[in-house]
Amino acid sequence: MITIQEAKTKNELTEFIKFPFSLYKGNAYWVPPIISDELATFDKTKNPAFESAEAAFYLARKNNIIVGRIAVIINWDEVNKQEKSKVRFGWFDVIDDIEVTKALLEKVYETGRKNNLEYVEGPMGFSNLDKVGVLTEGFDELGTMITWYNHPYYAQHFEQLGYVTEKEYVENKFPFANAKPEFFEKINELVKKRYQLKPINFKSTKDVMPYVDKMFDLFNESYAKLSSFVAISDVQKEYFKKKYISFINPEYIKYVEDKDGNLVAFAIVMPSFSKALQKANGKLFPFGFLHLLKAKRSSKDVIFYLIGVHPEYQNKGVTAVIFNEYHKTFTENGIENCFRTPELSDNIAIQLIWKNFNPVIHCRRKTFRKEL
């Protein structure tokens, strides 16, 4: 018999977070989260996403053993401001038993119908900076701290239950050796001269901080036209500033300004923490933080986390300025491989940015939809 229990207490939420640790035990490609960080994400007093969203967390048990989990989410900004009558689900993990999947998804339907919503989409988090999609290709590729990993049967369960593909995402990689300076050095100089632009580099996190609010404002402007985009609020800016910026090497954050000091483009690259997180196994102490610190200093793999260009400067070659600066930084740091976060497969504009690097798709993922 399958029973579904809502996880409310700290102990119950810790069980919710720890379930994948047993599900993927021994899996060489799954990257565990930091347990304390996940707890903070689910804490209504700490995560500002709860100002405009609500969520409930459920565990499935069979013979008193945890066999699945799911988070049911309503982003009210998405529902009210974008008029998308949608209930989300995320943090979905399950054994290969479609009856368990069915029982967990029933909690999503109950919430959706209770709030007169029209359809379900997932897996996805609270906002655009959360993880998204169920992996459909690339099961033998090492995950990242900003993606979910899952077994191949997840997508099969959704399809068997009548779900259809809502969005498809691709993840690309390329060796740094593919980043030939001749592709962007000349354009970099022409663009800087024509539009009177200048790149800004950093040596300390302290120097980055005064620019972060501008960066998130530009992020909102850059991605506003995407159908899935929900703008980041001022409170969320502060939260993400504290949560992510200190993790990122300051030299991996690049800004481009115009002659009046207005931010027109930005990019954030992160060192790969995947292997360090596997060694940490969910805990910062006593040694987990040392593994992360070592990765921050010496990882030879990097992940292009975010890149944004003001709408007025899109398709004008501004990314050449950014890539020129990264080429110098990566050369100094001996970077070997570059990875990109999930990008919508129909976002041709972002894909064209990378064409000269000869990237290859190494993972695909999807969100699935079902009408209520």
Distance between CA atoms of 259 and 239, rounded to whole angstroms? 30
User: Which parts of the chain are beta strand (E)?
Assistant: 2-6, 53-62, 65-75, 86-94, 119-122, 134-137, 164-175, 198-200, 253-257, 263-271, 301-309, 337-340, 343-344, 360-371
Distance between CA atoms of 237 and 139, rounded to whole angstroms? 33
pLDDT at 36 over 90: yes
Residue 163 near residue 368 (C-beta atoms within 8 A): yes
Residue 254 near residue 212 (C-beta atoms within 8 A): no
* Level-2 CATH architecture, domain 175-360: 3-Layer(aba) Sandwich (3.40)
Question: Same CATH topology for 2-172 and 175-360?
Answer: yes
Mean pLDDT across the chain: 94
Cβ burial, residue 215 (10 Å; 0-12/13-18/19+): buried
Residue 367 near residue 133 (C-beta atoms within 8 A): yes
What is the pLDDT, as a whole number, of residue 3? 97
Bridge partners, 121 (sequence order): 88, 369
What is the pLDDT, as a whole number, of residue 238? 84
Give residue limits of the domains in the chain: 2-172, 175-360
What is the pLDDT, as a whole number, of residue 233? 84
Which tens digits make up the pLDDT trace of 221-251? 988 777 667 778 888 888 888 877 877 999 9
What is the pLDDT, as a whole number, of residue 228? 63
Distance between CA atoms of 327 and 167, rounded to whole angstroms? 32
Residue type, 352: L
What topology is assigned to 2-172 in CATH?
A: Aminopeptidase (3.40.630)
What are the φ and ψ backbone dihedral angles of 102, each rounded to 5 degrees? -60, -45
Which tens digits make up the pLDDT trace of 328-341? 999 999 999 999 99
Which tens digits make up the pLDDT trace of 177-205? 999 888 888 999 999 999 999 999 999 99
Contacts of 293 (CB under 8 A, 6+ apart): none
Higher pLDDT, 223 or 14: 14
Higher pLDDT, 247 or 135: 135
Q: At what angle do helices 205-223 and 234-244 cross, to 10 degrees?
A: 130
Residue 194 near residue 369 (C-beta atoms within 8 A): no
